[in-house]
Amino acid sequence: MTEKDFIPKEYSAVVEEGKVTWQSPSNIALVKYWGKKENQIPANPSISFTLDSCQTTTTLHFQKREKSDSFEFELFFEGERKESFRPKIQKFFERIEEYMPFLKDYSFKIETSNSFPHSSGIASSASGMSALALCLMSLEKKLDPTMPEEYFTRKASFLARLGSGSACRSIEGELVAWGEHNGILGSSDLYGVKYTHQVHENFKNYQDTILMVDKGEKQVSSTLGHDLMNGHPFAEKRFQQAHENLDLLKEVFETGDLSAFIKTVESEALTLHAMMMTSQPYFLLMKPNTLEIINKVFDFRERTGLHLCFTLDAGANVHLLYPEKEKKESLDFIQTELLQYCQNGQYITDKVGKGAKQLA
């Protein structure tokens, strides 16, 4: 499919008013997306576990009005008016207008809330942008009731990508790939696709405990972060490495080799941070407690032979990934030895999830 396939022809129905609600999860990348081209096209392919309980719930109220030349929307976050979200949503609407030509025919009220604590440092753009994209797709489906299910899902991911790249991996579960890669069936730069190759049962219900090391505002915005890869001295090698790591993970998913999984996933996390440490300007996003946790995880593995591993986003918080069958020992260790490194002892237990849901 190309971008043009997402430009609708004529709508067959008239919709005056209504509301829709979607609940959409966050996701955690195993092979990281870092660097992009124009129009949110990724510089390299990525793959992520969709999460289960870290999610955003968004209700979109819509009311038909005279078409005007500006967008009309009100924003509420956790019950309160939230004007600080306006520029991001305005920009999102501008980017997707070509694909959603009805936007200026409606006034919208967007109500949104997160399951995770506010400003916890958990990326809310993936769950937030995917939830909004899905709400808009539900409205489009009312305008075009014959829309096929597959088109709905693809286009939701396509729109979410235009809001925030990684958001396109939050529509479906349990593993989603985004970015063209030879070894992955149906993969595209335009949207995320469900990973349909063989996945060993070791990866079923994989656990993710998120340790909140630093709940502060993001030090580096994603936009600036991706930009740092333009002209980065190691960029080309890194983009190529992401392809190689995807091939490695594909094999790992088949064989269930947890040691190989750890090697690839941890290396991806450290590479992401290495890219930030070696860009100009450079950023150091890990905190002392991030390193304390990582070293303790190495120790724990050495001592127990279990398969707890870490990954990081563009921040100081640590995602700890482990197989369901090692849940008890891993969680005991986390609770007794690692919570001391979390801000106010805060952490979230999550696991791999099945993707977004529409609520009644």
Transcribe 264-292 into DSSP letters. HHHHHHHHHHHHHHTSSS------HHHHH
313 binds ligand PMV (CB under 6 A): yes
- Residues in 3-42 that interact with ligand PMV by CB under 6 A: 29, 32-34
314 binds ligand PMV (CB under 6 A): yes
Toward ligand PMV, which CB reaches closer, 101 or 183? 183
Q: Closest Cα to residue 130, out of 87, 173, 94?
A: 173
34 close to 153: Cβ distance less than 8 angstroms: no
Q: Closest Cα to residue 229, out of 39, 40, 35?
A: 35
Name the phi and psi angles at 66, rounded to 5: -60, 135
Minimum Å gap between C-beta 240 and ligand PMV is: 17
Minimum Å gap between C-beta 34 and ligand PMV is: 6
Proportion of the chain in helix, strand, coil states, percent, rounded to 5: 45, 25, 35
- In this structure, what token pair is assigned to residue 14? 């008239």
* Cα 27 from chain centroid (whole Å): 4
Q: How many residues bind ligand PMV (CB under 6 A)?
A: 13
Minimum Å gap between C-beta 314 and ligand PMV is: 4
162 close to 95: Cβ distance less than 8 angstroms: yes
Q: Which of 45, 121, 128, 165 binds ligand PMV (CB under 6 A)?
A: 165
Toward ligand PMV, which CB reaches closer, 220 or 339? 220
Q: Which of 46, 115, 187, 188 binds ligand PMV (CB under 6 A)?
A: 46
- Residues in 211-240 that interact with ligand PMV by CB under 6 A: 222
Contact pattern from residue 98 through residue 127 relative to ligand PMV, giving x for each residue in contact according to CB under 6 A and a dash for the rest: ---------------------------x--
Minimum Å gap between C-beta 149 and ligand PMV is: 25
Q: Which of 127, 153, 157, 166 binds ligand PMV (CB under 6 A)?
A: 166
- Burial of residue 224, with CB atoms counted within 10 A of its CB: 0-12 exposed, 13-18 middle, 19 or more buried: middle
Strands of 293-346, DSSP E: 309-312, 318-322
152 close to 348: Cβ distance less than 8 angstroms: no
Contact pattern from residue 54 through residue 73 relative to ligand PMV, giving x for each residue in contact according to CB under 6 A and a dash for the rest: --------------------
Minimum Å gap between C-beta 224 and ligand PMV is: 10
Starting at the earlier edge strand, list the strands of the sheet with 347-351. Answer: 309-312, 318-322, 207-211, 347-351
Contacting residues toward ligand PMV, per CB under 6 A: 29, 32-34, 46, 125, 164-166, 222, 272, 313-314
